[in-house]
Amino acid sequence: MALNTYILQIHCPDQKGLIAGTTQVLAKAGANIIDMTQHTAKDIETFFLRAVFEMDSASIGEAKRHIETIAPHLQLTWKLYDCSETPRLALFVSKTDHCLYDLLLKRRDGDLPCDFSCIVSNHTELGPVGGTFGVPFYYVPSNQDKNVQENRFREIIEETKTDTIILARYMQILSPAFTEEFKYHIINIHHGFLPAFKGAKPYHQAWHKGVKIIGATAHFATEDLDQGPIIYQDIQRIPETASIDNLVQLGKDIEKRTLSNAVKLWLERRVFVYAGRTFIL
């Protein structure tokens, strides 16, 4: 009998019996739990759980029915993911290519369990990268009406069956309507340690302040520029003698690893968004 792997995400008000109730309904449906992580955020009295389990795909409907029986009583909000279904991610870029190459190489090497559905750019310079990695490239210029541009994005997303957008240094601001439509399905890398130094040229801002640590932030894009829920951050200490150019070069390495770690966390269904902030299990 072939077994499929599934990931269950749950969040609900904290109360007694949540772990026991979850494990019992999964076991009753014939699931074999292979990993489970849970956390109670005491400040908001909210319980989060991520369970990885195996079971016969023909019986997954029974597992769903068992979860649905306890959901109203426990006030569960839950999502169930089938790991045999590979997420399809679109890569949005401008001219800078270090994050783009890093993600494509990690996918090629098997470090990211996804398919890249397309590369979308407001410039043509990175078109050959798509050919090298076998990923369709779409040029959508930014010197046009924002509605026209974003309608083209929607067409591409539908054509390529894209699940989520990765802004791998896409240096354009998306409209509030677009970010709301794809809420929590757009991941951005900001080349700065948010909430400090938001906006343009964060490394220049940091240098002029004489900072001793620089960082990068991967977050969900929302209508509030650089203010979306944070998925992953990383930092690096810098020497006093570093120039702005040194900071930019060091920052590129931080950006790459920050964005790839955030994408991996999302692909592994470890990211919970609740009340405008993230919890990572």
90 forms bridges with which residues in the sheet?
A: 118, 165
Check 35, 56, 226, 253 and give the catalytic one: 226
Q: Which two tokens stand for residue 130?
A: 């798509």
What letters, b where the CB count within 10 A reaches 16 and e where it falls short, cover 209-246? eebeebbbbbbbbbeeebbbbbbbbbeeebeeebeeee
214: left (phi over 0), alpha (psi -120 to 50) or beta: beta
226 annotated active-site: yes
First to last CA, the chain: 30
Q: Which two tokens stand for residue 51?
A: 């369970």
Catalytic residues: 226
